[in-house]
Chains A and B, each alone.
Chain A
């Protein structure tokens, strides 16, 4: 969603240039964009304060309970922290997140070590790519942050990422990893975010580990769980997605960054992280499915076309009800265990491979056709033979042949006629 800020500037343009969403939904998007501009002009911290006056009593109660637990952490078990993180409102404030996030993934105080300097790490092979992405992550920093502070944070971000991939050389940096890293950095600071990011990246059940392999094939495979989940809940929406062959690309940045890259509201991002930090690794894919299902009406109204659907789905509205979506996603997870879905995913992947194969064949035919265009007669014969094979064409051919026959043997018709006239005379 890198250009949302500017979309409102195009609102009053009468043409549809640059806009590919269908007209009815366009208005909804624009309204969101206007809201988005307000959001980014006010620091996210302030937003919490604004909400505070009208806070849900349930949340106020939860706030007090979290505070009590933070004051007395030894008496609280992991389940309790997880319950806070998952239930309505999540961990509510970054002050609590800073303490609870490391606890959720089991990071200890001893692991939080002083980071090395950026100069020590600049020789790494991925250094340039990381710096390139970090320098372009301005949108992820709190608005109005002083320049020096932002630059310092960006350096910390580069160090954080490089530290992880240096410690685990088998893990490959991907574009989007910086979006996860910055969320952790902004909440937990540079000392705690390193072991936290390590936990998320390395290990058999580490959620980011599949993204950091040599190729994106493991990620692609995991994203393929989305469509079977959608199909089980709403076959019409699944049919529409599959017919349009929209694929899973629209959800790729969501999954790779845990929505950090794609959501404009910081509060939504950290709320999702609360949940993801204590959920199964595949859970974000179920959230993806829940979002698509939530927007099912829009999907069905949209033209069943890859470009249109990709465009509609990849842009997330700002007013998504994430508390409801998380509840739906959890229900979907409980009802459709990844293991149960495996055969459906395999079937989907077979169908996709078949489409790819047909595509390749069509491409080859197209190339052959281009070659044959230079040599047209050779190409006409097979098509003529093909045309002859239809029944209607056969009838026409028979008529023509009869005509030819009559032309050469006119006596059959005309001589008799001649004789008749002679007789009359």
Chain B
């Protein structure tokens, strides 16, 4: 496996975890998108998400296993205020989804961005996803150039995709892989999860081979 595992603290299993929160209006396809990425297929009896749902997938980046945790949130505004707050904790990246056939879901991006900023995630990698590009006619769909302008304004890449079409599967894949690679190269945000010790969320710099991850405070070998 990867070189970082050889630096492991004995008795503790480490795996890098990237936590990604998926936001967007109700019915834009957040659940189907995360389901497509994690399960590789379309969820055809999708229901409204109540509160927060969780899905996970392990990917390989440069031969290193990375856990992608996707937090799929409810779209209805009332869930955002007091309840979803808790799940912004330690979020590394953000996916904002809109429905290409419903301009109003695109216009909500402004308020979703405000939400992201209020949680101090302005510097975190973000992507904008226009979902359901299989629906409607080319005329009825929101023009890519228009969406691209908004994406440029907020400095995030734009993806147009469909969680439904198998042919678009690669595109869904690239959304999350883009984020994962960004997070991977952005070393300071790499958080190591240590199973069995929740309080241990140490930032590591695994590329500096001479410097292994500092051991957790309560089992420090140097004192």
Contacts and interface: CB of A to CB of B under 8 A. Distances in A.
Interface string B50-92: 1111111110000000000100001110110111011101000
B102 to A, nearest CB: 10
B86 A174 contact: no
Interface in A350-399: 356, 359, 363-364, 366-367, 370, 373
11 contacts: A3-B39, A6-B39, A16-B58, A19-B56, A174-B78, A215-B78, A249-B86, A252-B50, A253-B50, A304-B198, A307-B54
Contact of B56 (A20, A217, A303, A356): A20
A132 B54 contact: no
A176 interface: yes
B45 interface: yes
A80 to B, nearest CB: 35
Instruction: Determine which residue in B26, B54, B196 has the highest number of CB atoms from chain A within 10 A of its CB, and name it.
Output: B54
A17 to B, nearest CB: 4
Interface of A: 2-3, 5-6, 9-10, 15-20, 129, 132-133, 136-139, 172, 174-176, 178, 214-217, 220, 243-245, 247, 249, 252-253, 256-257, 261, 303-307, 310-311, 314, 356, 359, 363-364, 366-367, 370, 373
A216 B78 contact: yes
Given A129-B26, A244-B198, A253-B51, A2 B58 contact: no
B195 interface: yes
A370 B123 contact: yes
B159 interface: no
A332 B69 CA distance: 35
Contact of A261 (B41, B47, B58, B86): B47
Nearest first, the 3 A-B pairs at minimum CB distance are A18-B38, A253-B50, A252-B51
A252 B83 contact: yes
Contacts of B197: 304
A18 B57 contact: yes
Contacts of A10: 39
Interface string B13-47: 00000010000001100010001001111010111
Contact of B26 (A19, A138, A175, A306): A175
Contacts of A366: 120
A261 B54 CA distance: 16
B20 to A, nearest CB: 12
A412 to B, nearest CB: 34
